[in-house]
Amino acid sequence: MNDYLIVGSGLFGAVFAYEAAKKHKKVKVIEKRKHIGGNIYTESIAGIQVHRYGAHIFHTDNQEIWDYVNQFAEFNRYTNSPIANFHGEIYNLPFNMNTFNQLWGVVTPQTARKKIAEQRSILKGKSPKNLEEQAIALVGTDIYLKLIKEYTEKQWGIPANELPSFIIRRLPVRYTYDNNYFKDRYQGIPIGGYTQIIEKMLSHENIQVDTNVDFFEKKEHYHEESKKIIYTGMIDQYFDYQYGALEYRSLIFETEQMKNVENYQGNAVVNYTDKETPFTRIIEHKHFEFGTQKDTVITKEYPKAWKRGDEPYYPVNNSENNHLYKKYKKLADQQEQVIFGGRLGQYTYYDMHQVIHAALKLVQEELGGRR
């Protein structure tokens, strides 16, 4: 009998498994894919750590979380500063004095603020109700049209005026010449990739890991052999889509190794913000670790509508889906044996540091005591 069965070996499941194992619990982790790590999985190609399921840049403002993750890997000093390419014009992200200067030639924060205030006036002082209005309120119409609208609609497959405004508030707007994408105190990439982090967590002697296993093929059996289940898959699938399917956004990754190309695009992340380019961004993985290999590896990210059987990457947190999620959440709360966690189990657009935070909170609630 397992004390805990963990469904999914991503960051949420792995943190919980590790902490429970340390407290002498018997833990079994099952994973549908052939490898552990969920979407933070990285693997080496030509000596370069490739982020197989999209770019993952660790950042947090919480020292406890930073110290926690640093137990499992050494982090470098990488600072995320993506470049936007709009029809060949290059702009710095996030929106800051460099962007304002490139767009309007303004050099002082005062003139940049004035320009944005002028453009914001089309909202007539109304408070923003959706992503489009929120974006215009923050940075004005020029930036909205060149760097936000088409990228966002490509990414989400929904008009920007039907998306929630919190999505754009993820990005800072700065009146300084600072291209750092994140506001957090701590930031970096684990030297040697993310997979080692999960490997270290799951290598505890009280944890058994089975890959290539689908929970739904033997759901009853798993319920019988475990005291509790931590389920990190899609919450609607767990309940057999009984109220209907939640929406997700999927992605296709096209990865290419380029022989004898030392430096393809000069930056780890380049966003293509026009609607004509079918992908949203190109990741050149070696730049996350300041690599000097003679080859390079790039990945193009194509957003895609999600249908059953596809990989769900992002929850689409508009009001209909959030309403539907609440119904599933009610069912989830009635399950004594099962706890739902992670991006898919809680239908929440979590970043890695938030996932660790949520998993440690659950550890505290379930197992109490100090780590």
Per CB under 6 A, the list member of 55, 83, 245, 338 interacting with ligand GDU is 55
> Rule CB under 6 A: is residue 113 a binding residue for ligand GDU?
no
> Rule CB under 6 A: is residue 351 a binding residue for ligand GDU?
yes
> Rule CB under 6 A: is residue 356 a binding residue for ligand GDU?
no
> Rule CB under 6 A: is residue 316 a binding residue for ligand GDU?
no
Pair type for strands 226-231 and 338-340: parallel
> At closest approach, how far in Å is the CB of 314 from ligand GDU?
7
Evaluate whether 92 touches 102 at the Cβ level (below 8 Å). Answer: yes
Taking alpha carbons only, the member of 36, 26, 20 closest to residue 210 is: 36
Residues of this chain, 116-175, that bind ligand GDU according to CB under 6 A:
147-148, 151-152, 155, 167-168, 170-171
> At closest approach, how far in Å is the CB of 362 from ligand GDU?
22
Helices and strands in the chain: count of H runs, count of E runs: 13, 16
Per CB under 6 A, the list member of 17, 93, 137, 362 interacting with ligand GDU is 93
Please say which residue, 19 or 133, places its beta carbon nearer to ligand GDU.
Answer: 133
Residue 260 contacts by C-beta under 8 Å, 6 or more apart in sequence? 294, 295
Taking alpha carbons only, the member of 303, 304, 305, 285 closest to residue 295 is: 285
Buried (b) or exposed (e) across 153-190, using 16+ Cβ within 10 A? bbbbeeebeebbbebbeebebbeeeebbbbebebbbbb
Alpha helix stretches (DSSP H) within 105-234: 109-120, 131-143, 149-156, 166-169, 195-202, 219-224
Count of residues that bind ligand GDU according to CB under 6 A = 20
> At closest approach, how far in Å is the CB of 113 from ligand GDU?
21
Catalytic residues: 170, 174, 249, 281, 301, 349, 351
> Rule CB under 6 A: is residue 355 a binding residue for ligand GDU?
no
Q: In the complex, which residues of this chain contact ligand GDU (CB under 6 A)?
A: 55, 57, 80, 82, 84, 93, 147-148, 151-152, 155, 167-168, 170-171, 181, 269, 271, 273, 351
